[in-house]
Structure 1
Amino acid sequence: MGLKDFFKKQLATVIDWENQQPGVLFHKYHFTSDEIKNRSKLIVGPGQGCILVYEGQMTEVITEEGTFDLSTDNHPFITTLLKLRQLFESEHKMRIYFYRRAECVNQHWGTSTPVKYVDPIYNFPVELGLHGNYSFKVTDPGAFFQNVVGSRDEYKTEEARELLQSRIPQTLAAHLAAAGLGYQQIDAQLENISAQLSAKLNETFTEIGFELTDFRINGTLFDKDTQARIRKIADVTADNLAAAQGGLNYVDMEKLKALRDAAANEGGMAGAGLQFGAGLELGKTMLGNKDADVDPVQQLQKLKLLLNEGIITQEEFDAKKKEWLSKM
């Protein structure tokens, strides 16, 4: 250490957090050997706070802006010169940690791995990815410093995001299982899920000193297997609706599909010596043979289904339609 550095070290100093970066939550003030002299000045700016660690113990948490006098046992020249046995190094060390008191807003999050749960309605496994944004602030800087930051020189908002994202999958999976929400209901319930998930996460986060002030789920994405299951259910549902409109049930609709496939298969019905018109004969299973107790409107609906499925031709449909219309 040069003579200039020695003299500089002996003087009281003015300490403040200059060039505060928006992505930094905690920042240790760097001072040579941390032997801050008595009566040094500490400036805490707007949106900032400060934690003082003196002789290895957290002695004060400053939660408002202003200028403060620092009290230490390091007196200019005297303390250093008396520490000859310690190579002129004082044990009265003060470490100063500034922290961001202002709220951190519009932070983005997303699940790195899908959330897995069982759909309570259809009872199949679901893998769900989510993303959104959140805002948070340090509410108990002492607890956060002791439980999370420790003796590190810096702690960034991206590390807080990793801490948050590590808790989301398990918490969300447990919530979805308890809420009994099927995949069809999730997008409509995003606002409620966001609020409930925020409250659940805060039960843990407030214990370590920070709080989610806003938490939102902006979008969801099911994995490929789940999407395939959903499409299959959607197809069955659509078939059920189509069958109902034609006065049929799902089983009848499947029979219609079988007739359609047989009618369209050149190596099937045609190979057996049947023409495409034979589909009308096969369709009698659906249309019924007794005219007395049959509703013509329902029969016309079934005829339309037979036509749409390619089981009968347009000419056959028109002829049968004319026949049923005559009975109305």
Structure 2
Amino acid sequence: MIFNGIKRQLRSVIQWNNPHPEALLEQWTDNGDEIKNASKLIVGPGQGCIFVYEGKVKAVIQEPCLVELNTANIPFWTTIKKFMQFFVSEHKVAIYFFRKTKILDQKWGTTSPIKYEDPKYHFPVGLKAYGNFSYRILDAEDFFNNIVGNHNNFYINEFREIMAARIMHPLADYLAESRFSYADIDANREEIAHGMHIKLSTAFQKLGFEITDFRIEGTDFDEDTQTRIKRIADLTAETHAAQIAGIDYTQLQQLEAMRDAARNESGAAGLGMAMGAGLGFGQSMAQTAIPVQTSQPQGNSEAVQKLAQLKQMHDSGLITEQEYADKRKEILDRF
């Protein structure tokens, strides 16, 4: 015990040697009395120092320096020395060193899908995203008061957890405000990242941090959203095909329904449906002037083709309404 007390008395320099590679902040010692006999304080490059007296931040050193404690005019230093006893002090002092350099390329990712309504298709979207960010301690006193609290040390992985917890709400808000449809997300990653950078900077500045960079590296959608997206893609492709064929989407759906019915050969009912559907299919295609390959008998096929040609001639103004009606009746009577 005596040897330990003498050893503390002989300590002459306070400095942050060999900091943990993941440390944002570390307490210099768990025995504040020891600083009473130190003669020098060394703050190295990329470091800062916080003096805490009776649980309150009293001074912050932001720049590299070497301070002679016996003569230095550091706020509250005279008060500390006055209260210090030989081995024990009822007025505890704590010294914390913190990292001032930027913490680069930290990974982030949404812990669950971010929900918002697609502004174009009006269905719920579940978006997952990931990327990286960089930051640094901007205001050591705010950082100590708002984050560190009663902890002796604070590490990079702890800040990463705070980031993950606080990123969900701003990202959901930004997506709702920016009104990007699901199809626009990837094309606007940089714009979204820039908007998120602004939102996060405002929020984390209150905690004593500066977000120096924020990037979105990739996005994905949950299973429900992917199912909806696939359905929209199928409908879009079908509508486009219908436009090329010269019919609207409703007509296309009707033709597909008749085609499916025609394929149903289960029993007499299915056969009757197939016959009716086949006839309707031919008539519909004739009215829209689309050449169709069917399995009808040769005479029926020729009749359908003639009706289609007749309709084209009428639509082109090559024959009159009466001529079209007479000829159409003649072909149908033969059919």
Q: Give the residue type in structure 1 aligned to 2:281.
A: G
- Counterpart in 2 of 1:41? 40
**Mapped partners of 1:90, 1:189: distance in 2:** 60
1:281 to 276, 279, 282: 279
Quote how far apart the aligned CAs of 1:70 are: 2.9
Q: Mind listing any 5+ residue stretches in structure 2 that lack a counterpart?
A: 71-76, 314-335
TM-score by length of 1: 0.81
- Counterpart in 2 of 1:292? none
Specify whether residues 43 and 123 from structure 1 end up closer, same or farther in structure 2 by C-alpha distance, changes over 3 A only: same
Q: Give the residue type in structure 1 aligned to 2:279.
A: E
- Counterpart in 2 of 1:263? 262
Deviations 1:223-267 (A, max 9, x none): 111111111111111100111111111111101211221222222
Q: Give the residue type in structure 2 aligned to 1:263.
A: A
Contact 2:28 2:94 in 1 (8 A): yes
Q: Mind listing any 5+ residue stretches in structure 1 that lack a counterpart?
A: 82-87, 290-297
Contact 1:144 1:210 in 2 (8 A): yes
Q: Give the residue type in structure 2 aligned to 1:284.
A: G
**Mapped partners of 2:236, 2:207: distance in 1:** 48
Specify whether residues 176 and 56 from structure 1 end up closer, same or farther in structure 2 by C-alpha distance, changes over 3 A only: closer
Quote how far apart the aligned CAs of 1:273 are: 5.2
- Counterpart in 1 of 2:161? 162
**Mapped partners of 1:275, 1:125: distance in 2:** 40
Secondary structure, counterpart of 2:185 in structure 1? helix
- Counterpart in 2 of 1:149? 148
Specify whether residues 260 and 26 from structure 1 end up closer, same or farther in structure 2 by C-alpha distance, changes over 3 A only: same
**Mapped partners of 1:61, 1:228: distance in 2:** 55
Q: Give the residue type in structure 2 aligned to 1:29.
A: W
Q: Give the residue type in structure 1 aligned to 2:160.
A: R
Q: Give the residue type in structure 1 aligned to 2:282.
A: K
Specify whether residues 220 and 198 from structure 1 end up closer, same or farther in structure 2 by C-alpha distance, changes over 3 A only: same
Specify whether residues 320 and 44 from structure 1 end up closer, same or farther in structure 2 by C-alpha distance, changes over 3 A only: farther
Superposition pairs of residues 274-313 of structure 1, within 5 angstroms: 281-288=279-286, 299=289, 302-303=290-291, 312-313=294-295
Secondary structure, counterpart of 1:42 in structure 2? strand
Superposition pairs of residues 199-210 of structure 1, within 5 angstroms: 199-210=198-209
Specify whether residues 30 and 260 from structure 1 end up closer, same or farther in structure 2 by C-alpha distance, changes over 3 A only: same
Q: Give the residue type in structure 2 aligned to 1:285.
A: Q
Secondary structure, counterpart of 1:105 in structure 2? strand
- Counterpart in 1 of 2:175? 176
Q: Give the residue type in structure 1 aligned to 2:125.
A: V
**Mapped partners of 2:165, 2:55: distance in 1:** 31
Specify whether residues 234 and 93 from structure 1 end up closer, same or farther in structure 2 by C-alpha distance, changes over 3 A only: same
Q: Give the residue type in structure 2 aligned to 1:127.
A: G
Contact 1:269 1:275 in 2 (8 A): no
In the alignment, structure 1 residue 231 sits paired with structure 2 residue 253: no
- Counterpart in 2 of 1:249? 248
Deviations 1:162-199 (A, max 9, x none): 22222211111111111111111111111101100110
Q: Give the residue type in structure 2 aligned to 1:118.
A: E
Specify whether residues 56 and 69 from structure 1 end up closer, same or farther in structure 2 by C-alpha distance, changes over 3 A only: farther
Contact 1:134 1:212 in 2 (8 A): yes
In the alignment, structure 1 residue 105 sits paired with structure 2 residue 104: yes
TM-score by length of 2: 0.80
Contact 1:12 1:37 in 2 (8 A): no
Secondary structure, counterpart of 2:206 in structure 1? helix
